[in-house]
Amino acid sequence: MRFIRIIEDMGHYVHLMKRVLTKPDKSLVLRRQFFINVQSLGFDSIGIVAVISLFIGAVATIQVAYNIDNPLLPLSLIGFTARQIIILEFAPTVVSLILAGKIGSRIASEIGTMRVTQQIDALDVMGINSANYLILPKILASVFFNPILIVMSIAIGLVGGWIVSLTSSLLTPYDYVEGIRLFFDGFTVFYALIKTVVFAFIIASVSGFHGYRITGGALEVGQASTRAVVDSSIAIIISNLILTQLLLT
Amino acid sequence: MITVSHISKSFGNAKVLDDISVQFETGRVHQIIGQSGSGKTVLMKCLVGLLEVDEGEVLYDGRNFSNMTIDQRKEIRKEMGMLFQGGALFDSMNVAENVAFPLLMHSNMTVAEMKKRVDFCLERVNLAHTNKLMPSELSGGMTKRVAIARAIALNPHYLFCDEPNSGLDPQTANMIDNLIAELTHEYNMITIVNTHDMNSVLEIGEEVNFICNNKLWWKGDKNSILNSNNAELNQFVFATGLMRRLKPCQ
């Protein structure tokens, strides 16, 4: 029964996306909504992404240093491994999961509240494609701004590791900087950005779907918000596996 | 004219509307009355296309709305205005932006023209100089009036009002009712009002349609409603002490 419901939900999701991904009624309005969403979904997330990235970058460097504590291995390997962890997985995947919590719940509750207060009905009666008007700008804003957040996250994560090298006796800043420059392959950043774009689409579209399909009241808004975060996170994890398999093998 | 022809609507096994046929004429206030849960709101949602009818059709001046595609419906929807029970103002926009929204989406007006039209609509509902207020700063009556201003912004031919005076004090409710009636006659619109407020019916009910047991049970006007012999209608109309006191006077 649950399996059938999942299949049904996927059908409804595809159907909704067909309505979302159409030409907007007015491009001027889409542009305005896009910038509003860049502010609310993107700029407003800079703080949390910066704090988490700084500390995770530092922790990743300490963990690597403790786990490869071997006199035969050069200390620059610590910086190298921390960099790979941050670029390949931490920044694109972990930060996207955090954004799924922050952005996803916001999108679902915002659109869900509009549904239960009949604001979406008002848009429909006016002859406006409400799905396109509400969800498309959020998808575009996330797909545009999340890669910027992830690049920022990579940079701040690396700074976190550098602060560890400055303030601890695990390695010197020279070893760390040498490590993060060692065998650098630009494709890893490209890979991180591809993943980020896919994850951004998932977060905005799945959360928009849950918000848009609410029936009921305040209780259902809360439930939809939770479902949006859970389903976005699961979809991110599954697509992470698929993308990693496709892009790195 | 809006022609509703033999429409039925069910949710699962529960039939909410059963073979309803009615005509709504231009320039008049038509009221749909009935108990809570009688199907008034479902009927209105079927009329505006928020719900699809299972059987029957809805014609707007001869145009079959029920058979239309989403794009074809869009043209008719530009001629509709709707006042929702809670107002349904957009929380993120101020009063002026709410009223300007249909103009922004459906007209090619310049910003100056839009501003002029917004000011006119707000003045018409006695809310001049409230342009910058947010919906959260408005009282219930003001919210309804802003929603009316938004509904008439595009000069609609059809105005739908779902319980426009619910939750309002009698004086404000009366003011909203009279405003709806004035606008209907001023713009020669077809206005359909869902209500279970008998004060409203006796104030502005030019055409009254009573829904009971999922069917259109009685049709008349505000003058004939108090003298009807229809048992179900009388049960609804004279449910309150105030209305019962009114009956012997007739």
CATH superfamily of B27-38+81-249: P-loop containing nucleotide triphosphate hydrolases (3.40.50.300)
Banded model confidence at residue A97, pLDDT cuts 50, 70, 90: very high
> Which residues of chain B have a CB within 8 Å of the CB of A118?
84-86, 88
Token digits of residue A59: 């922790």
Round the average pLDDT of chain B to a whole number and report it.
Answer: 90
Whether B77 sits inside 8 A of A113 (CB atoms) is: no
Whether B85 sits inside 8 A of A118 (CB atoms) is: yes
Give the integer Cα–Cα distance in Å for B49 and A124: 9
Contact call for residues B228 and B212 (beta carbons, < 8 A): no
Q: Does A39 touch chain B (CB under 8 A)?
A: no
Give the integer Cα–Cα distance in Å for A139 and A113: 19
pLDDT for B197: 86
Q: Is the pLDDT of residue A41 over 90?
A: yes
What mean pLDDT comes out for the span A17-39?
93
Q: Domain limits of chain B?
A: 27-38+81-249
pTM: 0.90
Q: Is the pLDDT of residue A116 over 80?
A: yes
> Which residues of chain A have a CB within 8 Å of the CB of B102?
126
Q: Is the pLDDT of residue A86 over 60?
A: yes
| Low pLDDT (below 70) residues in chain B | 247-250
pLDDT for A147: 96
Q: In terms of DSSP H, where are the helices of A68-125?
A: 76-85, 95-99, 105-116, 119-125
> Which residues of chain B have a CB within 8 Å of the CB of A124?
49-50
> Which residues of chain A have a CB within 8 Å of the CB of B138?
none
- B window 59-88, beta carbon within 8 A of A: 70, 73-78, 80, 82, 84-86, 88
Could you tell me which chain A residue has the CA closest to the CA of B74? A127
Q: Around Cβ B227, how many Cβ atoms within 10 Å?
A: 10
Q: How many residues does chain B have?
A: 250
ipTM: 0.91
